[in-house]
Every structure is written in C-alpha cells, then in structure tokens.
Chain A
Amino acid sequence: DTAVSQTPKYLVTQMGNDKSIKCEQNLGHDTMYWYKQDSKKFLKIMFSYNNKELIINETVPNRFSPKSPDKAHLNLHINSLELGDSAVYFCASSPGLAGEQYFGPGTRLTVT
C-alpha cells in the first residue's frame, strides 16, 4: 500500500498554463506539506496544512495555491506557469506538527 501518493509523476507543460498536482496519504496523519526540490537537490518547504488549516505559507508566489479538501488530501494548483517553476514537487505528511515526515514519490514538473 502506498502511504503518500502523488499524481501525476511527470508533468510537461508550456509557460502560461495552469496545472494541478494531487496528493493523498493513507497514514491517518493530521499534517501535510508541499516541498519544492530544485535542480541542485535543495529542498524548500512551500506550505503546510494541519487538519485542513494552513499553518505554514513560506514566501511563495501567489500563483501557487494549495487546497486541502480533507485531512488525507492536499492539492497544489499553479497558475500562469513560468520556466522557474520547473522542479520536483514533493508532498509529505506527519502525525502532528512535529516529528518525522513521510514523503511521496514526487512530481517532476517541466515548463517549456
């Protein structure tokens, strides 16, 4: 059973388009996250939700909008995609606000 899953795994799109990435966890965790990993493997947190409430919102362009319809799902919608948005996006979850996080397999976004 996949603990944290993301769809799609790969996403290739053109500049200016709008796209969404979906994340689901079946671990029963309360907290979910979105991270961006750049080409140098640097991991940067973007957002965090706890029980569907936004608790971390790092300095991210407002073209990025997360949505958590329930505790098990956290989606990421990106408007007006730019070349610099190309990266691998990881979803993660944790039992609470602190502690270990469990990561999904990642979504490789390529903007052309």
Chain B
Amino acid sequence: AQSVTQPDIHITVSEGASLELRCNYSYGATPYLFWYVQSPGQGLQLLLKYFSGDTLVQGIKGFEAEFKRSQSSFNLRKPSVHWSDAAEYFCAGGFGNEKLTFGTGTRLTIIP
C-alpha cells in the first residue's frame, strides 16, 4: 500500500541550529511529494514540492528538501532555524490522480 512515513514525532532544536526532518515514502513508482507546515491554530501552508527533475528543491522560508530515490526519502532541511519555525510539519505524497497521503507529522520545538 502507498504510504508516507515521518519517523520522528517530536524534534527539539536550538535556535540557529540546523534542522533535518525525515520523510520516507512507499510507492510503486516515483510519487510527487510535498512538505507542509502548520503553525498553531492555522491551516497547512505549502513549503515546497517535488514532481520531477532536480532532486534538490528550494522552498519558502529558507527550507529545502532532497529527493533520494535510493533511500525512498524526501527529507526537509534548513541550515539555521528561527523561533518562528516552531510548528507541525507534514510530508505528503501522491501518484497520478490519486488522493494525497499525509504523514503523521513532526512537531518541531525551538529552544532559545
């Protein structure tokens, strides 16, 4: 079955430190992939997307993600986090016209 897995439920990093959030997918072929961010009390905001082509994708707010077919991964990275990055992060994948499958989310806490 198609799935998207976020292995980390909760991650804590210091402000200014680098960040990597993990996402693994399980599809029969290369899916299209997304990262969304949800701040408290808000809707989901699209950070970046991958459909094909360049495997390093740049997004908004200084985030990037790298698609690695060999590892079935699409990890989200940021070189230096800000306190405002504290939020819930969701990875999502889809294939063809099928519905998007969301991961269970990773809650990011930033400590001063």
Which of A41, A48, A99, A105 lies in contact with B43, CB distance below 8 A? A105
Instruction: State the majority secondary structure of interface residues on A.
Output: loop
Q: How far is the CA of A40 from the CA of B97 in the complex (A)?
A: 27
Interface residues of A in 66-112 (CB under 8 A from B): 90, 92, 97-106
**Minimum CB distance partner of B95 in chain A:** A98
> What A residues does B44 contact at CB under 8 A?
43, 90, 92, 103
Q: How far is the CA of A93 from the CA of B12 in the complex (A)?
A: 32
Q: A15 within 8 Å of B by Cβ?
A: no
> What A residues does B18 contact at CB under 8 A?
none
Q: How far is the CA of A100 from the CA of B34 in the complex (A)?
A: 7
Contact A41 B105 (CB under 8 A): yes
> What A residues does B85 contact at CB under 8 A?
none
Q: How far is the CA of A30 from the CA of B36 in the complex (A)?
A: 21
Contact A41 B100 (CB under 8 A): no
Q: Which of A45, A100, A103, A106 has the most CB of B within 10 A?
A: A100
Shortest C-beta distance, B77 to chain A (Å), equals 19
Q: B17 within 8 Å of A by Cβ?
A: no
Shortest C-beta distance, B48 to chain A (Å), equals 9
Contact status of A43 and B102, CB under 8 A, knowing A98-B32, A99-B32? yes
Q: B104 within 8 Å of A by Cβ?
A: yes
Q: How far is the CA of A92 from the CA of B99 in the complex (A)?
A: 12
> What B residues does A98 contact at CB under 8 A?
32, 94, 96-98
Contact B46 A106 (CB under 8 A): no
Interface set of A (CB-CB < 8 Å, partner B): 4, 40-43, 45, 48, 56, 90, 92, 97-106
